[in-house]
Structure 1
Amino acid sequence: MSHSATEVAVGGGVLAAALAFGLYAVQSSGLTVGGSGYDLRASFRSLEGISVGTDVRLAGVKVGTVSDVVLNTETYRADTVVTINGEIEIPDDSAIIIASEGLLGGNFVEISPGGSPFYFAAGDEILDTQGAVSLLTLLLKYVGGGGDNE
């Protein structure tokens, strides 16, 4: 059984493209193997547009991901766990906010750092939270707000 050089070259090119695509998929998804980090908890009124795997950013730089989201059936709030990269320390008076990338962009979790000299430890809860703001709700308030002066 003989193979021409063209068939071998095309097969090698397809294999190289598949490996490159797989490497790109792993890197762009933010997966890390054996990465160190610590978990922080937060409770939000609304997590619209946020799910497990969503980026956590500080000053626009990705510093972690959302690792768990559950509904607290007693408070009806979304209890969230975020995993922060191990080398990043978050001041213990920081706020955590659901932010939007723009009108058509997705949502992400933004940490607004405080000025405290003390830092959150693994498992601590961030108490200063701000949930997602619905663009549709804001538009309806704006459109419907014109009749209040009558």
Structure 2
Amino acid sequence: MAENTSEVLVGGVVLAAAIGFAIYGAQVAGLGSGGSTDYPLTASFRSLEGVNVGTDVRLAGVKIGTVTDVALNAETYRADTTVSLRSTTQVPDDSSIIISSEGLLGGNFVEIVPGGSPFYFGPGDEILDTQGAVSLISLLLKFVSGGDSE
């Protein structure tokens, strides 16, 4: 009888750990956030190299949303992008949005650099101050060729 009880207890602990890992994984993946990212903003970039739908949007290194749509504007030849932020995050309306890199071997992410305005972007507003991705290859080529000497 004691053997069965210990087996049931160990099985319960293993099951509880599995459920805990599943909940943690869903939170990290952004599943089950239930409308917590319902604050869309748009921006137009010259280059979105390394950024796709689902890429993190960060402010001060903290994930505050994701990229939800990327499309090429046929008139301007720029990448029109929609980001969806948590509704609890308010972004000043003079903020800028840039494509940043996690390092030489890391991927790219979208970073919002907050401004100092007392007014905030509303849902659907466009961030006009953008900076696209910087190509590491083009930087290396400029360095090797001596760059633009002025």
Query: Shared topology, TM-score over 0.5?
Result: yes
Distance in 2 (alpha carbons) for counterparts of 1:35 and 1:88:
10
In the alignment, which residue of structure 2 is the partner of 1:25? 25
Distance in 1 (alpha carbons) for counterparts of 2:14 and 2:62:
35
Distance verdict in 2 for CA 1:136–1:71, change over 3 Å: same
Paired residues of 2:37 and 2:84 also in contact (CA < 8 A):
no
Distance in 1 (alpha carbons) for counterparts of 2:112 and 2:82:
13
In the alignment, which residue of structure 1 is the partner of 2:124? 123
Shift of 1:114: 0.8
Distance in 2 (alpha carbons) for counterparts of 1:36 and 1:24:
18
Distance in 2 (alpha carbons) for counterparts of 1:65 and 1:115:
23
Paired residues of 2:100 and 2:133 also in contact (CA < 8 A):
yes
Equivalent residue letter for 1:26: A
In the alignment, which residue of structure 2 is the partner of 1:86? 87
Distance in 2 (alpha carbons) for counterparts of 1:131 and 1:36:
23
Q: CA RMSD in A?
A: 2.4
1:43 aligns with 2:44: yes
User: Which stretch shows the higher mean deviation, 125-134 or 80-89?
Assistant: 80-89
Shift of 1:16: 5.4
Shift of 1:5: 8.6
Paired residues of 2:53 and 2:69 also in contact (CA < 8 A):
yes
Equivalent residue letter for 2:29: S
* Cα offsets for 1:87-113 (capped at 9, x unmatched): 111111110000011111111111111
Equivalent residue letter for 2:27: Q
- Match of 1:117, SS state, is coil
User: Which stretch shows the higher mean deviation, 47-56 or 125-134?
Assistant: 47-56
For 1:1-150, list aligned pairs within 5 A.
19-31=19-31, 32-145=33-146
Distance in 2 (alpha carbons) for counterparts of 1:117 and 1:28:
32
- Match of 2:69, SS state, is strand
Structure 1 stretches of 4+ moved >4 Å: 4-18
Distance in 1 (alpha carbons) for counterparts of 2:114 and 2:55:
19
Paired residues of 2:99 and 2:133 also in contact (CA < 8 A):
yes
Paired residues of 2:58 and 2:110 also in contact (CA < 8 A):
yes
Paired residues of 2:56 and 2:63 also in contact (CA < 8 A):
yes
Q: Aligned residue pairs: how many? A: 146
Unmatched runs of 5 consecutive residues or more in structure 1: none
* Cα offsets for 1:16-58 (capped at 9, x unmatched): 5654443333122123123253100000011111111111111
User: Which stretch shows the higher mean deviation, 17-26 or 48-57?
Assistant: 17-26
